[in-house]
Amino acid sequence: MSDFRLKVFCCVARNLSYTKAAQELFISQPAITKHVKELESQYQTRLFERLGNKIELTASGRLLLEHGEAILEAYNKLEFEMSLLRNEYSGELRLGASTTIAQYVLPPLLAKFIEKFPHVTVSMFSGNSREVEQALQEHRIDLALLEGVLRLPSLKYRHFLDDELVVVMRSKSKLELPDEISLEEFQRMPLVLREVGSGTLDVIETSLAKHNIRLSSLKVLLYLGGTESIKGFLEETDCLGIVSIRSISNELATGKLRVIDVPELVMNREFCFARLQGQDGGLPTIFVNFATHEKKLL
């Protein structure tokens, strides 16, 4: 029902790229250009200025983006509420999830959700916590699932699951550490950690700060952009890593990795839902309620 040209324009405006918009909407770049030109003709104004290889919104473009996003959001809410009159849920749900949640928590929930709500189209953006929060603030997703301890005032958060970070190493490591080591011993060990911007690293830094320990004082060999990368690195290297306990169930069962307890280093955290302040209802709320009810599966 909504004007597809408006959806195209908002996509280009958020990405500031015709190419990225074409990839996101699965249409050709000439088609993207055509829709934008039609809007410029309709409103008799330029919406973008080209600066070399980049584009920027004009004042008219910024005004249209502000109203366009509100209109598209209203259309989505209308479609959802009309579907309720038929006792069925339909529409588009755009999820965003930090890497750990996307890999180890969401898959079984999504399988159950699309089985129960076959008329809902679900898409998911995955990145570290900062990237997902940015996508939410830029209206590229409707609902975020995040890890970590930081909170932004523009977002409202709701607890979902508890999680624990643990210190791990490969079982056949030449380090030959006991099952429990002191915090002082831990500080002397080589480490591989998640990248800056990840919720995992936020929790590690917060836990270390309670003991007046800075991340910069640790022997970090490198930072990697995902838990799977860390696990793969650990299986080939004599060092320690810190990952979610939820991410290593298979490796613990097969004996590839083992947990090293550091009693003084407690790294508990929560996984939570996040939405923009002032937004309620719709498919995001349906998914939150569904996931909360089904989390016993996890």
> pLDDT by residue (tens digit) across 200-220?
898 999 999 999 999 999 999
Q: Two tokens at 121?
A: 């189209």
CB 273 within 8 A of CB 158: yes
pLDDT at 281: 79
**Location of structure tokens 């709701």:** 158
As a whole number of angstroms, the distance between CA 114 and CA 122 comes to 8
Tell me if 190 sits within 8 A of 240, measured CB to CB. Answer: yes
Q: In terms of Cα–Cα distance, which of 146, 163, 201 is closest to 298? A: 163
- Judged against a pLDDT cut of 90, whether residue 274 lies above it is answered with yes
| pLDDT at site 151 | 83
- Segment 157-164 shows an average pLDDT of 92
Q: How far apart are CA 177 and CA 125, in angstroms?
A: 39
CA–CA gap between residue 122 and residue 233 (Å, rounded): 33
Of the two residues 280 and 154, the one the predictor is more confident about is: 154
pLDDT score, position 221: 94
| pLDDT digits 0-9 by tens, 188-201 | 999 999 988 888 89
Q: Residue 230: pLDDT band by 50, 70, 90 thresholds?
A: very high
Let me know the angle formed at the C-alpha of 297 by 295 and 298, rounded to the nearest 5 degrees.
75
Q: Specify the pTM.
A: 0.70
**What is the rounded CA–CA span in Å between residue 14 and residue 68?**
11
How confident is the model at residue 198, as a pLDDT? 87
State the DSSP code for 270: E
pLDDT (0 to 100) of residue 189: 95
pLDDT of res. 231: 94
User: Does residue 136 contact residue 229 with C-beta atoms inside 8 Å?
Assistant: no
CA dihedral 130, 131, 134, 138 (to 10 degrees): -170
The phi and psi torsions of 58 (rounded to 5 degrees) equal -80, 175
d(CA 102, CA 96): 8
* DSSP assignments along 48-68, one per residue: EEEETTEEEE-HHHHHHHHHH
pLDDT of residue 3: 81
Contacts 24+ apart (CB under 8 A), 56-63: 56/16, 57/13, 57/16, 61/13
What is the chain's percent helix, strand, coil content, to nearest 5? Answer: 45, 25, 30
Q: Which residue has the tokens 């920027």?
A: 56
Q: How far apart are CA 259 and CA 242, in angstroms?
A: 9
Segment 173-184 shows an average pLDDT of 93
Asked if 207 and 266 count as a contact pair (C-beta separation under 8 A), the reply is yes
Amino acid at 176: E
Rounded Cα–Cα distance for residues 273 and 284 (Å): 10
66-120: pLDDT as tens digits: 999 888 878 877 776 776 676 678 889 999 999 889 999 999 999 999 998 999 9
| Per-residue confidence (pLDDT) for residue 296, from 0 to 100 | 73
Q: Which is more confidently placed, 18 or 1? A: 18
CB 183 within 8 A of CB 211: yes
